[in-house]
Amino acid sequence: MKILFTLSFLFIFIQFNIAQNYTCEDLLKAVKENECELVEKILPHVNPNCSFRGAGEPRSPLGAAAQIGNMDMIEVLLKNKAKVKYVGKGDASALMIAAANGHLAVVKILHQKGAKINRKIRGNGNALLVAAKNGHLAICQYLIDHGAKVNATVDGDGSALIMATANDHYHVAKLLLENGADPSLGVDRDGSPLMHAARNGNPKILKLLTAYKSIDVNKSVDGDGSPLIQAVNSGELIMVEILVAKGADVNLGVYGDGNPLIAAAKKGDIDIAQFLVAKGADVNAHEKGDETPLIQASWNGHLDLVKFLVEEGADVNKSVREGNFISAELRSPLIMAKKNGHQEVIDYLISKGAK
């Protein structure tokens, strides 16, 4: 009897100590593995408002449950005092995670429990932004209906409309515009909705945006160029045609990003270059921080484009400096063609008087 009592005591003691040794790591692992019973077993011994960095994102139990979308797990955590406002180190909020992963029911319960819809976290955006990024129309509608600010921006993440257009989510973009999203609103280093639509080569979204009279088709954003430059970079002539028809300036340059014709020359896109020149693009234009169209075409070995530009009056001897200093590298069509060894271009330029 003594032995039995001793063994029973040891078993209880061991179990007690195991329970006392549960950690946030154990709880997070159980949540991520969808082990609801184990989660309930661990919760009396571990504060659910904890963070563990070793298992990747999400780093908090509620964030992990929001990613999975397991409503039973969410309810267990909330019942055990998990806070909807708690954010694991380096994480998005649970509401953002649920919105990003398309779990509408989870979004609703977290919001009802006090999660802030317009909360911003740099590097993660906000709930509407991530829902728009992933094309979750119903979640975007719910968030807007409950006070989401459609024109909110987050440095490094952009805006909801930027994310919708960047990821080709037409219906989300349409919903945002119908609810007051500004089609011209840009964010430094994140571009603007129009730029992303132009870059992606989706005429349907581009037409949706340009249908708004308030849109500025010539608005540039530092580090991202202009909508027309981005349309040229898409390689789709129809995108260029749409913007020019809406008033885009074919000669508008942006420091460090060139201008539309320079971009076309760099890519060797003769169809777009011919269209731009026909619409008045200057074949000898030079933008600070960039070169001329002919220098770019020669540098990249686009013989057909070089010939076209020369025939349209491009100066074969026009040179520019790489930077603003007199010591900066001198660049001309011939110098740059020689630099990259484009012999046919070299021969052609010399035949046209290049020195």
| DSSP, res 256 | T
For the segment 227-247, what is each residue's pLDDT rounded down to a tens digit? Answer: 999 999 999 999 999 999 999
Q: Identify the pLDDT of residue 314.
A: 97
pLDDT at 110: 98
The CATH H-level (homologous superfamily) assignment of domain 119-222 is Ankyrin repeat-containing domain (1.25.40.20)
- Distances, alpha carbon 228 to alpha carbons 163, 197, 224, 238, 272, in Å: 19, 11, 11, 11, 11
Find out whether 205 and 213 touch, Cβ atoms under 8 Å.
no
DSSP 55: G
Per-residue model confidence as pLDDT tens digits over 251-268: 999 888 899 999 999 999
Provide the pLDDT for residue 10.
42
Q: Which of 49-58, 92-101, 254-263 has the highest mean pLDDT?
A: 92-101
**Same CATH fold assignment for domains 1-116 and 250-355:** yes
Question: CA-CA distances (angstroms) from residue 31 to 80, 83, 127, 253?
Answer: 14, 16, 22, 53
Q: Indicate the pLDDT class of residue 7, thresholds 50, 70 and 90.
A: very low
Whether the upstream peptide bond of residue 58 has omega within 30° of 0, thus cis, is yes
- Which CATH number does 250-355 carry? 1.25.40.20
Q: How far is CA 272 from CA 136, 217, 218, 278, 284, in A?
A: 35, 18, 18, 10, 16
CATH code of the region 1-116: 1.25.40.20
- What does pTM read for this prediction? 0.84
For residue 170 the two structure tokens come to 């037409």
Tens of pLDDT along 109-146?
999 999 999 999 988 899 999 999 999 999 999 999 99
Sorted by where each begins, the domain ranges of the chain are 1-116, 119-222, 250-355
pLDDT (average), residues 16-33:
81
Report the C-alpha gap between 207 and 236 in whole angstroms. Answer: 14
pLDDT band at 324 (very low <50, low <70, confident <90, very high): low
Distance from C-alpha of 283 to C-alpha of 24, rounded to nearest angstrom: 64
- Highest mean pLDDT among 50-59, 67-76, 318-327 belongs to 67-76
